[in-house]
Amino acid sequence: MSQSIQSGRQAVRETVEAPRQSPIVGRLAKRLEIRMLALALVLAAALSLLSPYFLTTNNLFNILDQSVVIGILSVGMTFVILTGGIDLSVGSVAGLSGVVFGITFHHLGVPGAMLAAIACGSFAGLVSGWLIAYFGLAAFVVTLGMMAIGRSLCYILSNQSSISDIPDSLSAIVYTEVLGIPTNVIFLIVLYMLGWAYLARTKGGRTIYAIGSNKEAARAAGLSVLFYSVLPYVVAGGLAAVAMMFSVGQILSVDPLAGTAWELDAIAAVVIGGASLFGGRGTIIGTLIGVLIMVMIRNGLNLMNVSPYWQGSAIGGIIIVALLVERLISARVGRR
């Protein structure tokens, strides 16, 4: 009986009429990515005033180059966060994949070792994803466990030492230029285009949104909830390995500590890009903006010779302020 009364109450709440169509600026302001893009532009303007070097072509390519690793990681993290999950293991899984590459390229050759590394990363994601989706375990805890396992295997497989005889051919792959643009940047751009197309234009992508937004409804509508809940973790693990390949290509060395704290950068970029940690909300373009904001801040602080020890505080503070401002604005705009 109480149920029927509550449903009556609910019904009334649901009857509220749709808000009237607002003018175009207001509607744009409602889009989180647009607001974040504005923030990125303001940031860029501020940095170019503070440092004359910031707005040079050279430095802009620098920023793109620095965006590659965190950018690749963040695509996978976007998938995971869209389902309402989180993957804390991408950093150590990336580290593990790097070590796998380092100990196999002598036997398998560079392309074979890269495939082995990516398979290793995807497999770690498959295990986490399956545990989370099939048994309903908390993503936070499962990936925390995977994070510890991954890092421990890094030390064991690498004999606690760095591997530095990485062949130059890897670096060549990363830095070959096509029409004046390095391949790693091209790869990043293509990856974001593919990621956008997948999330916006395919059955799998829309299913991932539906799962994050309302898993029960997704299941009741006959969507393949289990498969598409596991997939994002596989993608995140695989892309973590890919990100590590680019990183190894940049520094030509594999360290058992490599990839430490990468997951935090990736999560921060996705969240700054407007995704909701509860799932269902966020876009790949938002994530790209989030990545650029993160990298620009770091780059600008370097240009201004801020001590690396202070950079953590600065970046952390800016992230929190950005989210706070965003929350205050969105409360006013009245989204939801």
Options 219, 252, 253, 330; binder of other proteins; rule CB under 8 A: 219
- Binding of other proteins by 213 (CB under 8 A): yes
125/212 with CB nearer other proteins: 212
- As a whole number of angstroms, the distance between CA 293 and CA 255 comes to 27
Contacts of 314 (CB under 8 A, 6+ apart): 297, 301, 306
**Amino acid symbol at 219:** R
User: Among 45-53, 130-138, 161-169, 204-212, which window interacts with other proteins (CB under 8 A)?
Assistant: 204-212
Which residue, chain included where needed, has tokens 């903006």?
289
Task: Give yes or no for a contact between 133 and 231, defined as CB atoms under 8 angstroms apart.
Answer: no
Size of the site for other proteins (CB under 8 A): 42
Tokens of 287: 């994530």
- Binding of other proteins by 106 (CB under 8 A): no
Stretch 138-177: interaction string toward other proteins, x if CB under 8 A: ----------------------------------------
At 178, give phi and psi (nearest 5°). -115, 120
Using left for φ > 0, alpha for ψ between -120 and 50, and beta otherwise, residue 261 falls in: left
Options 145, 204, 318, 329; binder of other proteins; rule CB under 8 A: 204
Q: How many CA atoms lie within 13 A of 182 on its CB side?
A: 21
Q: What's the min distance (Å) between Cβ of 34 and other proteins?
A: 14
71/84 with CB nearer other proteins: 84
- CB neighbours (10 Å) of residue 320? 10
User: Among 46-54, 56-64, 206-214, 263-271, which window interacts with other proteins (CB under 8 A)?
Assistant: 206-214
**Amino acid symbol at 334:** G
User: Among 15-23, 127-135, 287-295, 310-318, which window interacts with other proteins (CB under 8 A)?
Assistant: 15-23
- Binding of other proteins by 20 (CB under 8 A): no
Binding site for other proteins (CB under 8 A): 1-19, 201-204, 206-207, 209-210, 212-214, 216-224, 280-281, 336
